[in-house]
Amino acid sequence: MTAATIAHEGHHDDHALALYREVADIRLLGFVLFLISDCVLFSSFIFAYIYMRDAAPVWPPTGVGLPDANLAAVNSIILFGSGATMHFAMENWKHGTEIKFRRWMVATIVLGALFLTGQGWEYTHINATWWGSTFGAAFFTLTGMHGFHVFCGIIFLIVLLNQTLSGVYNKKQYFGLVAGTLYWHFVDVIWVFLFFLFYVW
């Protein structure tokens, strides 16, 4: 291989990387807009709950038991912890330690599944129903919608893990992983608001 050929290939790689970055920037903007739209969706339900609660003469409605805040606090920490493990996974990918990246990704998926299990346990033990009261309707709609997002996030992370195993991403081109990390952090943050609304306020 001549020096001229090597120089030409290097130039080609630089051009491909620059093109990738430009496309990734547009994708990132699109993904952030998606997160904002999701935020609007949650906000509409959250404000509906605040309005209903404010307008209710008695809260919680008669015959409704409020959920257990202690269990929810542990469940919240499981979800927040998964946000931390996801961040570690991403940092390890950036630093080229792929084995550690996979371990943190698996930890994130396991913690996400644990959170959903905790939610499922709570659904079967809470003294409220979806159709029985405004509290029950708001609680099951909002936490159910959030749980669905967590479930989709787990699928998302499994797909990403599979893609890294089959070599879809490299050290310079990994937009999917960035999107996965942002999505998972977003799901964590939505839970901060839901935890405050249903278990603290």
Partner 1 sequence: MTEQSLAFVFRGIAIVGAILVGLIAIYQVRNDWTTPGLDIQVSKLLLALMAVGCVIVILSSTGVIGWQTRAGY
Rounded least distance, CB 113 to partner 1, Å: 17
Can residue 18 be called a binding residue for partner 1 (CB under 8 A)? no
Can residue 48 be called a binding residue for partner 1 (CB under 8 A)? no
Applying CB under 8 A, which of residues 34, 53, 81, 100 lies at the interface with partner 1? 81
Applying CB under 8 A, which of residues 29, 50, 56, 155 lies at the interface with partner 1? 29
SS (H, E, C) the chain: CCHHHHHHHHHHHHHHHHHHHHHHHHHHHHHHHHHHHHHHHHHHHHHHHHHHHHHCCCCCCCCCCCCCHHHHHHHHHHHHHHHHHHHHHHHHHHCCCHHHHHHHHHHHHHHHHHHHHHHHHHHHHCCCCCCCCHHHHHHHHHHHHHHHHHHHHHHHHHHHHHHHHCCCCCCCCCHHHHHHHHHHHHHHHHHHHHHHHHHHC
Complex with partner 1: residue 10 or 120, whichever CB lies closer = 120
What residue ranges bind partner 1 (CB under 8 A)? 25, 28-29, 32, 35, 66, 69-71, 73-74, 76-78, 80-81, 83-84, 87, 178, 181-182, 185-186, 188-189, 191-192, 195-196, 199-201
